[in-house]
Amino acid sequence: MGRAVTVATCALNQWALDFEGNLERIFRSIDIAKSKGARYRLGPELEICGYGCSDHYYESDTLLHSFQVLEKLLESPATQDIICDVGMPVLHRNVRYNCRVIFLNKRILLIRPKMSLANTGNYRELRWFTPWSKARHVEEYFLPRIIQEVTGQETVPFGDAVLATKDTCLGAEICEELWAPNSPHIEMGLDGVEIFTNSSGSHHVLRKARARVDLVNSATAKNGGIYILANQRGCDGDRLYYDGCAMISMNGETVAQGSQFSLDDVASKVNPYPRVKVNFALSCPDDIAVPTCMPIQWRHHSPEEEISLGPACWLWDYLRRSKQAGFLLPLSGGVDSSATACIVYSMCHQVCLAVKNGNADVLADARRIVNDETYIPEDPPEFCNRVFTTCYMASENSSQDTRNRAKLLAEQIGSYHINLNIDAAVKAVVGIFSVVTGRIPQFSVHGGSSRESLALQNVQARIRMVLAYLFAQLTLWARGMPGGLLVLGSANVDESLRGYLTKYDCSSADINPIGGISKTDLKNFIQYCIENFQLTALSSIMSAPPTAELEPLVDGQVAQTDEADMGMTYAELSIYGKLRKIAKAGPYSMFCKLINMWKEICTPREVASKVKHFFRMYSVNRHKMTTLTPSYHAENYSPDDNRFDLRPFLYNTSWSWQFRCIDKQVSKLEKKEGISVVEDMD
């Protein structure tokens, strides 16, 4: 007869190197697990030190402090009578491993090192850790003295083994191992393992949760069993937001789901595996009346909901952990800055909802941020007015329409709004140049060259950046309030990919919540905000063509548009980005793919021209990515140069060999179609 077991998984908002805070959150999760009757508690990957320690993993302090936290866990009465599975780095025979440490009643049962390391995209685990390559093999690990004094053990098993309790058998996976084609759970299941655990440090990407859920459910769909997944949640200290989604699956069906976005800090024939015998049962003798879990329908967020929730939670973590008093956003009245404002407004909604639901930690953070120990955030616009400043920086090239759109949106979300004019500063800077050189640059519409026009546009953009930081530092001082503001950037992922931004302009900020999101998704998000937040000001913003408003107006109307300036549409940019990064396509491969994708709308020659133009502009502007504002990571084609998209920033922008291959292919195709070649394809 099968027995009913109660197991607990969690999503913890751990913070890199915050050992004290991480320990407190681990203890809290254990208390919750025990209060629910759980006999086994699983936590996220590297939860003791925090997943995002990066090169701090090289430091002996990180290892030392991790063992000190483990000591506190082992000796605490809170960890008695429950198997605890925690994550931390461990040095074994002078080799550093990413490990699970599994213990019960002051004794370590097993240290299980990670076997498949994540090393693509944002992940660099091979930089800091070595994969355990000895499948189904254990060695003796000599414990540090501080741990020996608590456990009374000199050595413990270290390696690829499973736990055999009185009533079942458990096997562990760590994050990437679930995604690998030869996942350990496959052969574990064939060897009699019934419960599979996975501690993850899996970050949010739009539309990724569905793939994660499918993998977990498929793990037990064939051979049966229980699969438990724990994940990090929150901003761990950098560009990534870990989106929780702790879950339990049984026989291929989801039976328990944790929230994806939250401000809460805590929620055959095979070679046999070595078995660590555990004199402990996960089930209770009188479990006949214990209800078993029934399958549930997983609640998937739409991409628009993900944008509303993920970056908002990331901003809240960044704000409370940076100990600043709020945000400042240059609000232009366009889609990008308006979407950024809406994400801050969504953050305010999440804070008010969390406080309403009794989250004391969020309330304490909100009170500290606004410097009022009696304050209770109940109304999102009112809270927004306290923590969010928007600023419309007009010039003689700005239209009254964008000024009005920005003002109306600020009123509806409740931000403290500033209107200012930058013309005096622009004229002063250009005047200095004219005094030194004796030349007065002109816009192209006034007879100037393209160089003059671009320089004049860049001066406006860079002065806005300088003023943004000035107002971020002193606006609260001028209002008689303490603290400073974080400057928010609002360049989307497509603009960054194309390089359609001024280096060191308003895109240069402290953080950017939309830097990993496409223009297409941002427009859909704006529509979502119109419908769900009743922000009617967004309707006119949606219908207006995107524009930088850096060139002179024509009859009082905007003549400059983004897509005309870029020489490509935002929709095309998204396609180029996905082919370049996700499909790993260079110029020639991209051309070959697009002549089929666009065969109904473009000739091969037109495709060739578009591909060449994109790669020229991408390579000319790649240097801008080295100074790109840290952005929320939401797309797998992000050009973030920091660690996700590692490429040169000085290219031979002629791409002579690659473009010649394209030209030859175009000639072949046109010859095949009987089209005479009469123009130079360059």
What does the CA dihedral 330, 549, 611, 598 come to, rounded to 10 degrees?
100
Distance CA 486, CA 468 (A): 10
Query: Annotated catalytic residue: which of 10, 99, 114, 519?
Result: 114
Distance CA 257, CA 660 (A): 53
Distance CA 315, CA 317 (A): 5
Q: How many Cβ atoms are within 10 Å of 556's Cβ, its own excluded?
A: 8
DSSP string for residues in 44-62 = -TTTTT-GGGGGGGGSHHH
Q: Which residue(s) pair with 8 in the sheet? A: 41
> For residue 679, what is the enclosing H or E element?
none
Nearest of 363, 407, 667, 618 to residue 493 by alpha carbon: 618
Distance CA 158, CA 160 (A): 7
Query: Annotated catalytic residue: which of 10, 53, 169, 175?
Result: 175
Strand segments, DSSP code E, in 354-446 are: 388-394, 416-421
Q: Write out the two tokens for 95.
A: 């080799």
> For residue 367, what is the enclosing H or E element?
helix 360-370
According to DSSP, residue 549 is labeled -
- Does residue 362 contact residue 354 with C-beta atoms inside 8 Å? yes
293 is catalytic: no
What's the per-residue H, E or C state across 306-332?
A: HHHHHHHHHHHHHHHHHCCCCEEEECC
> For residue 585, what is the enclosing H or E element?
none
For residue 352, the SS3 value is helix
- Does residue 80 contact residue 123 with C-beta atoms inside 8 Å? no
> For the chain, what's the residue count?
682
Which alpha helices (DSSP H) does 193-302 contain, by range? 209-219
- Does residue 663 contact residue 656 with C-beta atoms inside 8 Å? no
Nearest of 43, 41, 88 to residue 69 by alpha carbon: 88
114 is catalytic: yes
332 is catalytic: yes
Query: Annotated catalytic residue: which of 45, 177, 495, 572?
Result: 45
Angle at 188 between CA 45 and CA 115, to 5 degrees: 40
- Does residue 381 contact residue 320 with C-beta atoms inside 8 Å? no
Which alpha helices (DSSP H) does 164-247 contain, by range? 176-179, 184-190, 209-219
According to DSSP, residue 251 is labeled T
45 is catalytic: yes
> For residue 94, what is the enclosing H or E element?
none
For residue 182, the SS3 value is coil
> For residue 518, what is the enclosing H or E element?
none
Point out the residues that are catalytic. 45, 114, 175, 332
